[in-house]
Amino acid sequence: MGYELPALPYDYTALEPAISKSTLEFHHDKHHAGYVKKFNAAVEGTELDSKPIEDVIKAVAGDDSKTAIFNTGAQAWNHTFYWNSMKPNGGGTPTGELAQKIDADFGSFEKFKEAFKAAGTGQFGSGWAWLVLDNGTLKVTKTLNADNPLTKGQTPLLTMDVWEHAYYLDYQNQRGTYIDAFLDQVVNWEFAAENFAKAK
């Protein structure tokens, strides 16, 4: 059946200046496409071939014999979620019920931003920062390499890629500057709010 590489939900130049056209071309067309290709090759001809990618990720998590399937599948899924976590002219603050929930669970939107930036800058090496719903409570988490909240029973609402290939062409080693640009210029609060509404 095969998992198809989704197109970006916006043009390659749409997130500039926060994220450049060259970064999106390299990141989506090379890295993301590579994960999709390797995932499809890994599951081809197995019982996992016809299952939704989320089900495959959860089924093989923690199985050392299926590490390659998990890594490529989770990275394929994570990247699709990441593209949707951003939008042109994004940033700012959330509204409605999600905004109220952030205030209730973090104390304020500024405290959420501090926690999210700390997760992103504090992730040693490669990984992801997430806003998740965990047993009815909003939390900021971070995961290493390909791991994601689906394997922990959490519902992801938003993610930020902190692998170097996500920002190095634009920011070199200034990960914190990239995180500020993500939060202030491109984060897609409507996507997070939709995920929150479905998860409640």
Binding positions for Mn(2+) = 27, 79, 161, 165
Closest CA to 156 of 129, 180, 179: 129
* 78 & 100 share domain: no
CA dist., res. 22 & res. 169, Å (int): 8
Which whole number is the average pLDDT over 117-141? Answer: 96
**Is 89 part of a structural domain of the chain?**
no
Q: What is the pLDDT of residue 2?
A: 73
Q: What is the pLDDT of residue 50?
A: 87
Q: Is residue 157's pLDDT more than 70? A: yes
Which whole number is the average pLDDT over 1-16? Answer: 92
Q: What is the pLDDT of residue 200?
A: 80
Per residue in 82-114, pLDDT tens?
Answer: 999 999 999 999 999 999 999 999 999 999 999
Which whole number is the average pLDDT over 54-81? Answer: 95
Its domain, for residue 125, covers: 96-199
**Is 106 part of a structural domain of the chain?**
yes
Closest CA to 163 of 93, 52, 74, 48: 74
Binding positions = 27, 79, 161, 165
The larger pLDDT score, comparing residue 70 to residue 2, is at: 70
How many structural domains does the chain have? 2
* 101 & 143 share domain: yes
**Is 9 part of a structural domain of the chain?**
no
Q: What is the CATH number of the domain that holds 80?
A: 1.10.287.990
* 78 & 108 share domain: no
Work out the number of other CB atoms within 10 angstroms of the CB of residue 134.
14
Q: What is the H or E stretch that residue 193 is in?
A: helix 189-199
Q: Compute the mean pLDDT over every residue in the chain, rounded to the nearest whole number.
A: 96
